[in-house]
Structure 1
C-alpha cells in the first residue's frame, strides 16, 4: 500500500536559473542542478517543460529529458540553457535521484515572471546571480 512506502523528502537540493552573461544582443541564462548535500547523488533524471498562456493562447514547450550519472557533494551541473522568452511561462523541472539505495523525487516550478532581476540572489556553490528553488 502507498502508506507503507517510505517518505523520502528531498532536502539540500536546488534548481537555479543563473545569469551567465550579458551583451548587446541580450542575456544568456542557464539552469543548474545544485547539490548542497554532504554526499553525492546518483542516477539523476530530470524532465523539463514550459507551459502557460502567451498572447491569449495556450503554449507548451517540448519536454526535455536529462540524465547525469553522479553529482558530487557541494557541486553543480548545468541542466540546460533557457531562453528569456520562456520566463513568462511556468517552467517545471521534475527531478529524480538516488542516495544509496533510496530514491527521491521532487517537482520544482518557476512561476511566470518569477525569473526577474528583482528576485536575483547569489546562487550557492555556483556563485552567479540567479533565482533558486530549494
Structure 2
C-alpha cells in the first residue's frame, strides 16, 4: 500500500525558467532541470502542463512528457522552451527519477506572474538569469 512506501524527499534538484535572450519583439525562455547533487540521477521523467484562468476563461495547455536516461551531478538538462503567454498560468512540472533502486518524485509549480524580473536570481550551474524552484 502507499503508506508502506518510503518517504524519499527530493533535495538538491531544481526546476528553473531562464531568460536565454531577447530581441526587439520578444524574449526567449527555456525551462531547465538542475541537478545540484554530486551524484547522477537516472531514468528522469518530467511532465509539464499549464492551467488556470485567462481573461475569465479556464485554460489548460497540452501535457508534455520528457525523458532523460541520466542527469550527471552538478549538471542541467534543457526540458523545453516556454512561451511568455503562459506566465499568467500555473506552470506545473512533475519530476520523477531514480538514485540506485530508490524512486523520488516532486511537483514544482510556478504560480501565475511569478516568472518576472523582480524574482530573478543567477541560476546555479546554468549561470543565467531566471527564476528557480528548489
CA distance in 1, matches of 2:101, 2:69: 14
Q: Structure 2: state its 5+ residue gaps.
A: none
Task: Please give the residue correspondences for 1:5-16 in structure 2 after superposition, counting only pairs within 5 Å.
Answer: 5-16=5-16
Aligned residues: 134
Q: 1:71 deviation in Å? A: 0.3
CA distance in 2, matches of 1:16, 1:2: 30
Q: Which residue in the other structure is 1:120 paired with?
A: 120
Q: After the TM superposition, list the runs of 4 or more consecutive aligned residues in structure 1 that deviate by more than 2 angstroms.
A: 1-4
Q: 1:5 deviation in Å? A: 1.4
Aligned residues: CA RMSD: 0.6
Question: Is the aligned partner of 1:95 residue 2:106?
Answer: no
Q: Which residue in the other structure is 1:83 paired with?
A: 83
Q: Which residue in the other structure is 1:4 paired with?
A: 4
TM-score (norm 1): 0.98
CA distance in 2, matches of 1:4, 1:45: 23
CA distance in 2, matches of 1:25, 1:79: 24
